[in-house]
Structure 1
Amino acid sequence: MAFVTVVFSLLCMLFAKKGKSVIKPGSGLSAEFGNNSSWVSPSGHFAFGFYPQGNGFAVGIWLLGGSPPQKTIVWTANRDSHPLPSNSTLNITTTGLRLFLSGRESLVLIPTVNTTSASMLDSGNFVLYSNGSTVVWQSFDYPTDTLLGGQNLTSGAELVSSVSEKDYSSGAFYMLMHQDGNLVAYPKNSGGYFVDAYWASNTFDDSELLGLDATGSLCIGILCLNENFSPRNKSHNTSSIYRATLAADGNLILYEHQFEDSVGSTNVRVLWSTSIEKCQIKGFCGFNSYCSNVTGDAVCECFPGFVPSNNSGNVSQDCILAYALDGCRSREAPNQMILYNITQLEHVSWFDTPYSVVPMKEKECEKSLLDDCDCVAVLYSNGNCEKYGLPLTYGRWLQNLSVVALFKNASGTVQNLIPSNFFPKPKSKVVTDNKNSLIMILAFTLGSISFLSLIFSVSIFFTYKRKVHKYTTLSASENLGFTGECSLRSFSFDELVKSTGNFTEEIGRGSFGAVYRGETGDDSQSIAVKRLERVAAGDWEREFRNEITSIARTHHRNLVKLIGFCIDGARSLLVYEYVRNGSLGSLLFNDEKQISWRDRLKIALDVARGILYLHDECEVRIIHCNINPRNILMDEAWTAKISDFGFARLLKSEHSRMRKEDDGTSKYLAPEWQKEAPVSVKFDIYSFGMVLLEIVCRRRSIEMNVSSAEEIVLSSWVYKCFAEGQLNRLVKEDEGVEWKIMERMVKVGLWCVQDTPSLRPLIKNVILMLEGLKDIPIPPSPAHPLH
């Protein structure tokens, strides 16, 4: 095999040297002047230079042919950059190929060292040389959407389709050459996993490269994709050039350009193609749409309840919801519920993973769809109700598909949650004609009211006096102590200075400032005092009091208890119970400490139950916005407790993002945080998912000291190992793993860290899945694009 590869390479070099024109440093091209806008190969078949693109120009290589000459673009430099202005110029310099914009601004288009010449070869390869013959750069090493005769696609390299036949920017599909010799085609926005592939060569060869030779054979090692191809008989006056192009529709097509030397005309024919129907190509239609060929031509249509976000011809690239997905409640009136209609669509399906699959009847499935605020569509088939969140990907219509798709559409009306007949109407009083009875009733009623009013007034007077006396007594006291009558104590700053020994023993540093250990003077109770360093400007004292009032009402075993506070001018401090065993981070990332898998599961459930209480069970919903291992503390019984909740709004706006990145917490923030999205409970779900994966792997979510680049980002690394069935790579070899618990935690963690918020489960479902009481569907790749 190695001998064949060497011989093939030598033949390619000989073929390339047949035509070579030398371009010296100082030579240049101009986009404005047609005769000086390109360098042409000796045969006249290929040219390098400026060609029209959009409202300007691009730099590339094209194949000439026909009469009048037609340009077939085969390579483009910086294909996704903006069109170049008409007064742009190119120059060969000793440091490579330099591009001048508007006559003054310049940039290196192709950087090299000690360039002495360049050539546009008859093979279609543009080459830069050093010392006359040493190749320092060649376009064949950087293919775009096309391979030419003599060019290879090596392992890890890819072809990327163009947008259209007139727009050569990067399109919707790419074809990747894998290390195992398998050539696979994917949609551009996919993660490159097997479930996203729409075509594969299934050729497994040690050569690890796809090659197109000068005779038109497109092969991976000795396995040729066009194995039935044999060159047709040609006249002596005919020569051919071959190119394999990944077309804008996702198909790989092998062309032959036949040149008649005597008349200069060109005949183009297709020799081979992957020949995949458009509706079978994943990604041909965008998100939340489906491909249909009922009329013969492939057409993309939005699912019911969605509208196109942008259009290109008859293809709807992406579709978005036609109504705001705010959950079941109306934003303007929380006591009202949005009403939805159900739309059915038969013979359609998509390739997402459902987050719930439950056997039930179709009517029950419809009701379940209406009741589930996170669900926008279901697939009902074989008695199973499959629920899906956004986005819906790779949708298609198939005549023989016995599936019913149900979609939820907002009807535009709302329903009061409190019915109008909830309060009974007052009954009509019956009036008697007996005047004496009426007078007696009135007299008795007025007397009773007067007597009750007197008693009420006296009681109010004495109650007021008693409370005033109590308030006076409390205000006069300098040391209130921890009494059962006060749920939250107001400390003086001098008290806390004394309790902490002038803030000498720092035991940690959270998102809002340093934490110090101290003891109360009356009962020597250990406390943790946090000095807030980043409270918002403006009416901060009122906001601070409002927040601690809400926090004072929280009582849960998985939350760190707030004991008191201090406001002294611009200084704000919080007093917490002292949690003895430090943070979860110090426990997880200490290799010397052993943590069993049941203990890891218990810690995860402790944190999840604390989040459930904050989201759904306490009097006022609290979204933490900053869950990470440093904000999770372990008490003497190794119970996990969440701290720093309820104060996210107190961060200074100008520091909130920058400082979070500085202190290492940005890696736990949901992707939509950077997009200024409204705060939702799904922020905390994402952060919990990152913490859960760290509990599983006992490493940080971003780790630079790893053996390979693919291991740096923990969520991507975990998904890769999960998809390939190699979870053992995530743990140490000598670690006694309970694989069922580990797999359960990994699947839940991957669902929680989905880039798309609607795919993340609610925290109550997270707990059910961790406890093994709810089935966990196979999670998709976390890096779904946001739409």
Structure 2
Amino acid sequence: MEPIFCFSLILLFFSGISADYIFSESINPNFTATYLQFIYSSGAFLSSRNGTFEAAIFNPEHQQSRFYLCVIHVPSRTIIWSANRDAPISNSDTMNLTTKGITIFYHDRNVKWSTPPLKSPVSALQLTETGNLVLLDSSNVSLWESFQHPTDTIVMGQRLPVGTWLSSAISVSDLSTGDYNLSITSSDAILQWHGQTYWKLSMVSNAFQDSSHMVEYMAINRTALDLFGSNGTVTVFRVVLPMAHFRIAKLAVNGQFTVQSFSGTGWVVQDFVGPDNGCETPFFCGRLGLCTHGAASSSPSCYCPPNFHAGSSDVPGCVPSSGSYSSPSACNSSVYDGASNSSSVSYLELGGGIQYFGNTYSNTVTYVVNLTICQDICSRNCSCLGFFYENSSGSCYILENQLGSIMSSSGGANNSLGYIKVIGALASAIDPRTSEDDSLPVAVLVIIPIAGFIIAMALGFLWLRRYRTSRAKERELGNFKSRSSDDLETFYIPGLPKRFDYEELVEATDSFKTLIGSGGFGAVFKGQLPDKTLVAVKKIVSLGNQGKKDFCTEIAIIGNIHHVNLVKLKGFCAEGRQRLLIYEFMNRGSLDRSLFGGGPALEWQERFDIALGTARGLAYLHGGCEQKIIHCDIKPENILLHDHFQAKISDFGLSKLLSPEQSGLFTTMRGTRGYLAPEWLTNSAITEKTDVYSFGMVLLELVSGRKNCSVGSQSPSKDESMSSNSGTSSGTGLVYFPLYALEMHEQGRHLELADPRLGGRVSNEEVEKLVRVALCCVHEEPSLRPNMATVVGMLEGGTPLAQPRIESLNFLRFYGRRFSEASMIAEESTASQQARKPSATSTGGSQTAFSYISSHDISGPR
């Protein structure tokens, strides 16, 4: 009996650890699983309803050292999610499901991974037919989902929101977090390697931009890869794909983002691949490996560039050929100190016709005069490991922190020169070469000095001629000082956009012939670059004694701010006393021309799109870029319109750039009367809420189609007392529209505020929405005004529409009375002028006098 009993125990033991029973759809708490327990099902313990997905304790590639809690797409055996990717376990370690969530234990009972604290007890773990692993409470409410914590893959039905990312695995068998990331931003999807961008979805040839909305998430479906906005109701970017039954998008271990489709019979490989050429990924050929494009049917090839040879198996890529040199690590003071030991630094040339993987997407560090200055910038920066210099443009690109592969440029020809920093005992030099100790003939020793003397004389003559020309140019530009430390090429400012010569801009604008606008910062002229690109060239004035370096520092910050609702800065010019900015050309001009001009009236949808675009641009300036920017001069003249009336804010960053700790302390910036917030008059702190007030005033003008302080008619149904309270002069028809809007809002008569030129093509509800948002924006107390992100939410409909606080809008009644008084003064002034000059027209005189008096009386001293 005893042997039979022992044999029965052994059978029970093995039956326990080899359950081979896969639960369907869900399991309940107090569940434990190990790989050995479910070894006959390859570690799978839970399947979706139709068996499309499995949850398993899985060992990729059948290796026996790393096991992961995974969700697997069964038909393709693709891992779409892994829990403990950076904390693998062994085949005997356990996964526990309790009422507190999922916990993965190591054999010594140390926790390797767990779900975060949950708001209520877990009732079940469910695997959906879309591949989502979900923890549910007793009411079937989701407590935690794997879809909300993606690893390197998304599937149909899953969203990848802004601010989240996919991270590649190290290899197909090691799921640990790799070096590549796919990030979703408010305007794009980008691939990065150690912080260096090497691909953008928006730059893919078959990616179509359907709208200018802000991106909210990425998703894939049966027909497309999309970037969505407005809670999925608007497609911002779309890549059309072949129809498929099921689709998976994965960031592969080699850094390529792939979309694969599954039809039920097999994979259709590479529905989409980005980048589509392996050479454009950062590490295809290892460190400093030269990647050469292959034929269409072959993969790229890897070589080492001149002055380098293949490294060891431990160091993939290429290393200096000469044993006298070694490659430094970034800011490794034990090897290299850029400040004190630069004599040990040399540069090895990479050869011609090459390019670095990230230069297409990186900002130029600076525009320099020659190669030596680019080298000096790198030598002074310990994180710099090399640089690329472009002869034609003078662009200098710095390679920092990590070195990836290099690649042959298209066609094998390129004016870019690449150099890699190395450490050695020889003197610093560009392209150091060994020399042979050969004896030279006596005749050569005589001829060389004579030839050198003649060449030196010729060079001296050319230099003198160029110097005189340069001096004449400086006098023409108004700069009588010698070119010294203020020259752009003598200081280092990261992120500067393209630098233009003054002569280039004179030619581009036909000697500044076509004036297209003017403002507080200068006049704007239309121009055309040699590549036929239209630009707007602004000649900056009123910058005081700001030096060239200060100017370029601000331009570097402005040039790095990119948003679909901000005018793009394409370049700048800083020569002598000339300061010019080159912007993208906006073919519909400024909003005031379309809104107040004599052309066709803007339709309501166009007005709404302009309001929403402007709000998004301001929200980005206030909270979306690295350095908070308060515009301080939001008005229709600074809102430019492009095709389809896409709104873009201009002149941002020129008033003042503020850090977060400074933003509540600055009180001396300038703006435009009629759009100035009340805090300007009380010397209160100026914050981003000042821009919110100005936006509210612009919003009211969009509703009415006229200036807030302008000539206009009122509805015949209003009685005389209403006209008086609204700040209206019955003789001239001058109306202070913000007060009129407040009074109509109090009576629920919003439709009477709409531009009469719309002719009934707008509803009362549509007008009410903009009027309520506008009145909330112009609250007297800044703290009661919504921030611009909330304004965007209210306009889009994702945030409930707020109700204006009437007690914080009563100051408009005081403004209305001052307006009425100013109107009377204007009428008296007009009558007096007409008595002296009968030829003057009544309307013109009234407007002229009023424009001078009312703007001062209403806005107060500045």
- Does TM, scored on the shorter chain, surpass 0.5? no
Whichever structure has more strand as a proportion of its residues is: 1
> Of the two, which has the highest radius of gyration?
1
Q: Which category describes the TM-score, using the shorter chain as reference length?
A: 0.3 to 0.5
Normalised to the residue count of structure 2, the TM-score between the two structures is 0.39
User: Which of the pair has the greater relative contact order for Cα pairs under 8 Å at 6+ separation?
Assistant: 1
